[in-house]
Structure 1
Amino acid sequence: MTDLTGKSAIVTGSSRGIGAEVAKVLAAQGAGVVINYRQKAPRANKVVQGIVDAGGRAVAIGADLTTAEGSAALIDAALENFGSLDILVLNASGGMETGLGEDYALRLNRDAQVNMLEAAAQKMPAGSRVVFVTSHQAHFIDQVATMDAYEPVARSKRAGEVALRERIPALEAKGISLVVVSGDMIEGTITATLLDRVEPGAIAARREAAGRLYSVVEFGAEVAAMVCADVPTGHTEYVGGAEDFLRATS
């Protein structure tokens, strides 16, 4: 098992789902982990308690990533509680919620990702790693159409990935690497639930096309594995069911 003793990680959007699973794995490997939530403090505190009960270190911080104050709060928490910031997992995403404005998907999936990265990079030492979590439906959106209900989210996440990749040279100059993890639809996530509500049968259809879909636990483990994977900066790790997307782009 990877030894992350003495390291510190921020995992955005980690009060539930994929982010929570990533945080649990990193904490089990010895990292101090900042658990990020936007509104649901009890849920985040439950993740922290589970990590602490298992012998790990974690703290929950409420922060809206679409604000500069949100990014600063997470970074300050990592430095104050664990003494460093070595790992940044950009997992938070959204855009299918209602009542947050028509531009919310772009503000969260592009602008907030870039702002979080740029703020964190100022505090991360050489040898640090950033992991951006996306979906095949977003990563390949310029070549492969997706479900109508998901397209605004997919395009905003692709815009976020492009914007983050543009910063790779500046990150390399600091000795920081960036890796992208792209996954198929994940069973049990809020996005999958909302999509199936808007387009009944959508997830079953995707499951049939892909052969199978990863669970939240399985995908979280794959994301966590890329924190220390021996891959070059800019690498994209395809997790589950990417063959049909890759064929469509070849």
Structure 2
Amino acid sequence: MRARSGIATVVLIGALPIALIVGVWHVLAATGMAPPSLLPAPSAVAARLVQQWSSPAYLEHAASTLLRLFAGFGIAVIAGIAIGVAVTASRWVGATVTPLVRVLAPVPKIALYPAFILTLGFGDASKIALVVADAVFPILLATAQGTAAVEPKLAWSAQAAGASRWRCLLTVVLPAALPSVLTGCRIGLVISCIVVFLAEMITSTDGLGHLLVRAARSFQTVDMFVPLITISLLGLLLNAGFNAVRRRLLAGFPETTE
């Protein structure tokens, strides 16, 4: 009972800033301090949001965005965890990968997008590649840090029982580093939501980012807010779903705080 009441309190506290922003937005629109051509009323945006969510065409655009997001995030998870484990397992891999990560991680990956377009085209591949390039680094770094911090005695015990080095890494070290790995994946998921939307805004013929740019070009401000709110809500739902999976996976760990 206390846990439920604590969750309700957290949700209520988190909803207060959003309610405040919507309230200020309503006041600005109702008093005319911001013209409707620049800032439409929240009620108009909400009505258009409901209308668009019942439109098959709009849902197809949202599905295109989610397809790119999940494809890019999935590849980033596989690559980030694999490379992160390899960095811990092999001194040579660590010596090779670490300098590359230090050089490439701070680079704004959006600067690589023209190169992705030239090599992969204007379709889904270039957008997925941009998502991978941005999301892989936090997952890789979190995996490498988490596996390196695992108590060496766990690995020694497994190897003493006859497990090979790689089997020990996959069955002992990686599960022990799961909290750190999942933290990196959570950061990568948030980054993926941002990057896929940005890529669609730059060059795309479908997706939520494309809808926002198309509405902006025709000065349809109400339609500009709809994809923006949609991607925000999708990010919120994805984060909630990921946290539910995370809590289940970390049920046996002493600390499962978010």
TM-score normalised by L of structure 1: 0.25
Q: Using CA pairs below 8 Å that are at least 6 residues apart, which structure has the higher relative contact order?
A: 2
Q: Report the TM-score when normalising by structure 2.
A: 0.24
